[in-house]
Structure 1
Amino acid sequence: MRVSFTKMHGLGNDFIMLDGRDNALPVLASPAVRALSDRKTGIGCDQLIVLEPSTNADFRMRIFNADGGEVEACGNASRAVALLHGKAARVETSGGIIDVAPAEIGARVDMGIPRFEWDAIPLAYAMDTLSMPVGWDTLENPVGINVGNPHVVFFVDNADDIALGQLGPVIEQDPLFPERVNVNVASLSSENALKLHVWERGVGLTRACGTGACATAIAAMRRGITARTVDVTLPGGTLAIEWDDNDRIIMTGPASESFRGSFEWDDFA
């Protein structure tokens, strides 16, 4: 079976997009995801995205990290999906239903309402999630938050000074996080502007993470570091994050199509 794909990216966070809304795709197992995601022998990506029919929304978006694991949310992929679809839509994800729409500078996504309860993140046991009484090396007292997927956010003097490539996998795999966790390290670069580096669960260091930008912005707002609209700059570029009057997270930023192609399913299954 020959399958068409679209390669897209949001600020350098790249995706293989498979559209199964009109023609069903075969069952996608973890080994196939890993093979397709491999940058030397496959197509290469951070996440593989599958679009499917939905009974609860206009369509469903499934998200697989490069390690083969399926996850709940991906902000950058949501913007890419908005551009691929070409018009406003309600999209079902494992983390809830989100609203996406093309925008002047890319796409606008309503990421929903953040969760702060310890068991919603989830954590292994109860604690204050605004200043968690835990630490790893120089990273201490993070904010815990779920924005469709689990995050911890550390605020430091200079995000560039943190060896996140070493600390990220340790924190991600810590038993405190039963579903593992995305690790964000941020610093205030100017008024209502943050610099951010992200260790993404199942991916590693990434040029951009939309849910990480959302989580970090909301964490900064809860801590009183910024106002309720903030620019978050990652290595791949900048996203605008707003926490609106209805407590919904609105993310706006660019996404692009790289190329299109096709492959034989049996070569990777």
Structure 2
Amino acid sequence: MDDDTPDAEPGSAAGNGDQPTDNDAQAVGDDGQAVGEDESARGDDGQAVGEETTAEPTGAAADTATAAGEADTTDAARESTAGETAVPDDVRKYERFTKMDGAQYDRVNEFLRDRTYITAREWAIARLCADFRTETGVEMTKIGENLPELVPFMTDTYSPQAVNQARSSFEDKVTQAGATFLYGAMSGFFTADELDDVMYEVTEIAKFLLEVEGVDLAVADELNAEERISSVMRDVRQQSAELRSEEVECPNCGHTHTPDSSE
């Protein structure tokens, strides 16, 4: 063996395999944590000393926080329940216009404008005024405040004054349309057959609106109603002819006579 091999430096780990001594750049403690580590010294519980922590409430503070959270939840639930119960039961159960879910006001209004004198607003509110009539009058406030809930194609609430105005407008137009029709029937402008054709057409429109409102019309009831209306209109025509002193045709035998004739 050569004697030229240099001796290990005192305190070096290469000398005899012992643990590093204090001469190293950083000494290691018994628990493996570097002594003198600048980042964060750790305490017995593993929490870095000086590291900010958020203290959990305990005792009375914890009870108070829990109670506050429950109160917030209760308040939110109460507000939600109040919002649901704000709609009256009779409004919630109203099903007149359910067949028109998803319908747009403009489309409904256009349909009515082409076939009647009334608007969609007047039609809907007139129907509601009839359904929400009480012994003391019409519940116009309830109708106006819950209008979007009651009629699918109505999107805004109405004041009681606006409800009353729409109902009044509907009544005025029905009177005007009735006067127009009755004059046409009484004036002699239409023959009996032509008048029947007019009655058939307007009856079909009226029945359609009733069906949209949720009225189920049996076929027998429809035919019976049409016959009764036709009978009334024939009587109107005959009576009006007598007023004009014209010859009329007997609906039973077909014989024509003047109102003054006893034959």
TM-score (norm 1): 0.22
TM-score (norm 2): 0.22
Q: Between the two structures, name the one with larger relative contact order (CA 8 Å, sep ≥ 6).
A: 1
Q: Give the greater-gyration-radius structure (CA).
A: 2
Greater fraction of residues in strand: 1
Structure with bigger helix share is 2
